[in-house]
Amino acid sequence: MFKRAFEFAWGAARITMEKTEQFLEEIEVRKGINREEAKNFVNDALKKGEEEYQIFKDKLREGCQEHYNRACGVSRSEIETLEARIKELEKKLAAEEAD
């Protein structure tokens, strides 16, 4: 389901890029601005879009992590701490068995 949502978003972005190009051409004709100014406008809009996308990804990641933590009751750092303790205990046990 996530893959389909991503594909939809990607398709929408492609359509948006095509519409943006058409929009720039219209601006050039109607407002009399040059191509460089139009490109700067698009680049600024794309940069803002990338920033917003990164914010979205971060919030999505946080939301997924919170959901996982609620479902499992254990955070990733807690799991890593326990794994480290297990390895340490295994080493101690192996050392005691060797004696």
DSSP per-residue string spanning 11-59? HHHHHHHHHHHHHHHHHHHHH---HHHHHHHHHHHHHHHHHHHHHHHHH
Altogether, the residues listed in the chain come to a count of 99
Q: What percent of the chain has pLDDT over 70?
A: 86
Inform me whether the pLDDT recorded for 6 exceeds 70: no
Inform me whether the pLDDT recorded for 36 exceeds 90: no
Cα–Cα distance for residue pair 79/69, rounded to 1 Å: 11
Please tell me the total count of domains within the chain: 1
pLDDT in tens, 48-88: 888 888 998 999 989 888 887 777 777 778 889 999 999 99
Per the structure, the complete domain to which residue 28 belongs is given by: 2-98
C-beta separation of 61 from 67 below 8 A: no
Q: How confident is the model at residue 43 (pLDDT cuts 50, 70, 90)?
A: confident
Inform me whether the pLDDT recorded for 1 exceeds 70: no
The per-residue pLDDT for 31 is 72
pTM comes to 0.44
